[in-house]
Amino acid sequence: MASAVTTRNFKGGPGRQKNAWLLHLFLLLASVLFLFPLVWLISTSLKKVDQAMQMPPTWIPKPFEWHNYKDAFLYHADKVTGDIPFLDYLRNTVVLAILTVAGAVCSNALVAYAFARLKWKGRDVAFALTVATMMVPFPVTMVPIYALYKNLGWIGTFRPLWVGFWFGGAFNIFLLRQFFRTIPFELSEAAKIDGCTEFEIFRIVILPLAKPALSVVALFTFLGTWNDFLGPLIYLVDPKTFTLGLGLQAFQNQHGGTPWNLMMAATAMVIAPVIILFFFAQKQFIQGIAVTGLKG
């Protein structure tokens, strides 16, 4: 019997190795396809403006114009190009990211805990209605929400962009609820025997075990805030309050003909923090997705 199993594994080995080789080849080709825009962006950011518009295009800049990054970031000192302070846009975006991430992690964790660990009448119905809100597209609610914020006198401030995150979001609630349900209820019962209140159980027992899922919520929220363009476009009025997304648009609108080399340099600096963050947080991100039950 042992020899039969060995023979069967031996026969299946080359086939599995061949399939794995083909899979890795496909993934390699797909990665090259997805990296193409990024490589083109970096290449263009290091060219002269005439070389950036050259046809047929060239991949390797001759020479490398490293000063494009300095010119793109500090060009507000140039009287020709005008005043577009990227440092202010960076500060505004970082402040919004901190507020939205803090709000999303705190509010969604509390609501998800109530749906996953507490028993109360109408819980399942309330959760179903919460998840159903994900089916409502943003354009449907955009005008009523804008009218609400206008009546509150918040248009032109940062409040419409971060206050809502302190009231939970359907997707993040669903994600955290799935994770909280995987934590053994015996831990909560043991904490109750030791005299812990429900909030102490949530804070001392559940939250430390939920770090992977909370990291996913924080990362998703940060990426959404950092890359958000529509929200600031709707609610912000004063250029001094603009975010990086609006800053890039202001950069392009400031010129009769867009200097694509500087535009690509500015874009590269905007997306660099996101790439660096994902590079260092990819382990927690993948682990969080896996443990929440959202893996295919």
Specify the 3-state DSSP secondary structure of 248: helix
Any idea what the CATH number is for the domain that residue 161 is in? 1.10.3720.10
Domain boundary among 75, 104, 121: 75
Residue 1 lies in a domain: no
The whole model's pTM is what? 0.79
**DSSP H helical ranges for the chain:** 2-45, 49-52, 67-74, 86-117, 123-132, 138-151, 159-162, 170-180, 185-193, 198-200, 207-209, 211-226, 230-235, 244-253, 260-291
Asked if 209 and 183 touch (Cβ cutoff 8 Å), the reply is yes
Number of domains making up the chain: 2
> Both 53 and 111 in a single domain?
no
pLDDT digits (tens, 9 = 90+) for 37-70: 888 888 888 887 777 777 777 777 788 878 788 7
Residue 230 lies in a domain: yes
> Both 185 and 212 in a single domain?
yes
Residue 150 structural domain: 86-291
> Both 239 and 138 in a single domain?
yes
> Both 177 and 278 in a single domain?
yes
Q: Which two tokens stand for residue 36?
A: 């193409």
pLDDT digits (tens, 9 = 90+) for 105-115: 999 999 999 99
pLDDT per residue rounded down to tens, the chain (296 residues)? 444 444 444 445 555 666 788 888 888 888 888 888 888 888 888 887 777 777 777 777 788 878 788 777 765 434 444 556 778 888 999 999 999 999 999 999 999 999 999 999 999 999 999 999 999 988 899 999 999 999 999 999 999 999 999 998 999 999 999 899 988 999 999 999 988 899 999 999 999 999 888 988 998 899 899 989 999 999 998 888 899 888 888 777 665 556 777 788 888 888 888 888 877 777 776 766 666 555 44
Residue 3 lies in a domain: no
